Chains A and B, each alone.
Chain A
Amino acid sequence: GESVGLHLPTLSVQEGDNSIINCAYSNSASDYFIWYKQESGKGPQFIIDIRSNMDKRQGQRVTVLLNKTVKHLSLQIAATQPGDSAVYFCAERGSGTYKYIFGTGTRLKVLA
């Protein structure tokens, strides 16, 4: 069946440290991947995306890595701040489809 990630784990990180959030996806035909951040009471907010013809993409304080061989996606957040506390979702989209399949999310807690 469809699955992107299987748990809702919690990652606790000290303020100022780097965070790495991982995601496994199941559809090898997916060609577009997105990371979303969802704060309490709000909708998912786009952070960064990557297409399948790339293996790394950098934004402001964030880097997404894509390993198609093992169907793995990661989000790295540099110098994690309290405002980064949220649930993070990876999402994949199959080639030629309009369907975004979301993982179950990872809760990031930033410790002061």
Chain B
Amino acid sequence: DTAVSQTPKYLVTQMGNDKSIKCEQNLGHDTMYWYKQDSKKFLKIMFSYNNKELIINETVPNRFSPKSPDKAHLNLHINSLELGDSAVYFCASSQDSHTEAFFGQGTRLTVV
């Protein structure tokens, strides 16, 4: 069983479109994250939610809006996609702030 699953795995879309990436974890964790990995493999945190509440928002354009309907889900909606949004987006979860984060398989977003 996949612990942290995100869909879709690949997403190709045109500039200006709006798209969503879904994430679900079945680990019973309280905290979920979105990370962005650029072409140089650099991983940067975007958002973190703890018990459905936003606790980290790292200078991300407001075109990006996370939504956590419940503790097991953290979706990422992106409006007006730009070329620079092309990257791999990873969802992750952790039990709390004292334990490791488990990552999903990533969503490769390509904006053309």
Contacts and interface: CB of A to CB of B under 8 A. Distances in A.
Partners in one complex: yes
Contact of A96 (B50, B97, B100, B101): B97
Interface in A71-112: 87, 89, 93, 96-102, 104-105
Interface of A: 8, 32, 34, 36, 38, 41-46, 49, 87, 89, 93, 96-102, 104-105
A96 B55 CA distance: 12
Contacts of B97: 93, 96-98
A38 B101 CA distance: 13
Contact of A101 (B4, B45, B102): B45
Nearest to B50: A98
A45 B101 CA distance: 9
Interface in B1-58: 4, 31, 33, 35, 40-45, 48, 50, 55-56, 58
Given A49-B100, A98-B50, A44 B45 contact: no
Nearest to A102: B43
Nearest to A34: B100
Given A42-B105, A43-B104, A98 B41 contact: no
A55 B102 CA distance: 24
A100 B103 CA distance: 12
Given A98-B48, A99-B48, A99-B56, A43 B41 contact: no
Given A8-B41, A32-B98, A44 B50 contact: no
B106 interface: yes
A102 B105 contact: no
A69 B87 CA distance: 36
B40 A8 contact: yes
Given A98-B50, A98-B56, A43 B90 contact: yes
B109 to A, nearest CB: 15
Given A43-B4, A43-B104, A100-B101, 10 more contacts: A34-B101, A41-B106, A42-B106, A43-B90, A44-B43, A98-B48, A98-B55, A98-B97, A101-B45, A102-B43
